[in-house]
Chains A and B, each alone.
Chain A
């Protein structure tokens, strides 16, 4: 479909673990763990797609795969029209990854110095970065903290700087891995508003991995429910849940899957 910016076809990731020295009699015996199994999804341009699942469902592995950080074992995917494996540099130029990982910045540098560094890595010229950095700092509302060291930021400010970094190159797709983890309700609301008003409203596509049902329900246009590495269901929230709440529907799916196993 022309309007599709994320498309996966039976995307699978298996991790192989050798027993090694933990089992001296069978060191070469391997154990295969399937983190993501045959996932098919399509996300349209300008859509907020929520990837919902409990801890260990495979959300982060799937997100990292789509950001080129992990190679798929089988299946295929296109991101912004580029092949995930063969055109990695073009995929990376089209995306931003915003995670809850506050360790992804240099704590001894200021917010501005961090952004200057990551702007260079994104291939943004010095002149453009000098214009762009104040813009994105303003967009996320931390202009006044720009010259403070990252280590002095609150959790909410750290998360906002993560958003600012994502905005630097104005990419087409934003992958967000639990972007509100550890935030208070007010800071969470700011992030939700930001996603809707500054990203989706500007035609950006957002792929949001979360285990917060309310977050998926309130922010996302469509959701996919992942459990045990498989996509159990996906679609618009209203269509999926019918007369139930998303929480009831989610728990039903998890219960059914647990019984199957």
Chain B
């Protein structure tokens, strides 16, 4: 059962490390990003207004933003990996060769995103490790299980949106407005770089329409404040409801898109 997904994982890993310089560069960029926000944290961290606005998470801006930028990677990969990978296979010309094998398209789409998620997990681990080892972020009281639950639900929620985005790419090939709109709005409103409490009231209300708001809140509270399921249960529940609504809808839309592309004969076009 896992033979096909594992073959995708191996293939994508081999492809990734075949570009060795790019592979190394990605980790270097994580280091510089962490350093950058460390100094921003030094600049802003002492301001009482900043400490007040993030007091819920312990009051340290660098810890707050480190979690934000690290887990925003999951938003990007969940939203973009399905459509990006489909488009990449269309462009390099391998999609048709896959589709003529007895492998269902949903298996191809889901499996081709595994490496993106695995690599993102490694990148997020690198962010947290750097922050913890060299920049004084304390994960001493972190509750890992609620954070991991939030992470899994976050991946499912973001992936549902990503599958809708892949459906769009399947039919229109390029210029997907869904991923762009959700990604931009999530970064703006979801509390990646600043807490949503500094937003005007009406934007705070709007921010609750995006799963990243609940995800980041639950992960920050679990990792930085050691809060358990009882405290982050509301956020986890919101993510469950969000996924329960969007996942079936996204699968229906995807099914429609595949059938439409097969009817148009444009599955492998780009």
Q: Please list the residues of chain A having a beta carbon within 8 angstroms of any beta carbon in chain B.
A: 13, 15-16, 35, 61, 64, 67-71, 73, 89-90, 92-93, 95-97, 101, 103-109, 113, 116-118, 120-123, 125-126, 165
Contacts and interface: CB of A to CB of B under 8 A. Distances in A.
Interface string B148-163: 0000000000000000
Contacts of B265: 13, 15, 35, 61, 64, 69-70
A106 B11 contact: yes
A96 B152 CA distance: 38
Contacts, number: 90
Given A120-B4, A123-B3, A95 B264 contact: no
A69 B268 CA distance: 9
Interface stretch (B65-73, B88-96, B198-206, B231-239): B88-96
A71 B265 CA distance: 7
Nearest to B265: A70
Contacts of A16: 264
Contacts of A165: 97
Q: A-side binding surface: helix, strand, loop or mixed?
A: mixed
A122 B102 contact: yes
Contact of A92 (B7, B14, B19, B102): B102
B262 A121 contact: no
Contacts of B264: 15-16
A101 B100 contact: no
B101 interface: yes
A117 B7 contact: yes
A92 B3 contact: no
Contacts of A106: 11, 15, 92, 94
A54 B8 CA distance: 38
Nearest to A95: B100
Contacts of B19: 108
Given A89-B104, A93-B102, A120-B3, A104 B96 contact: yes
10 contacts: A15-B265, A68-B99, A89-B104, A103-B94, A118-B97, A120-B4, A121-B98, A122-B101, A123-B3, A123-B4
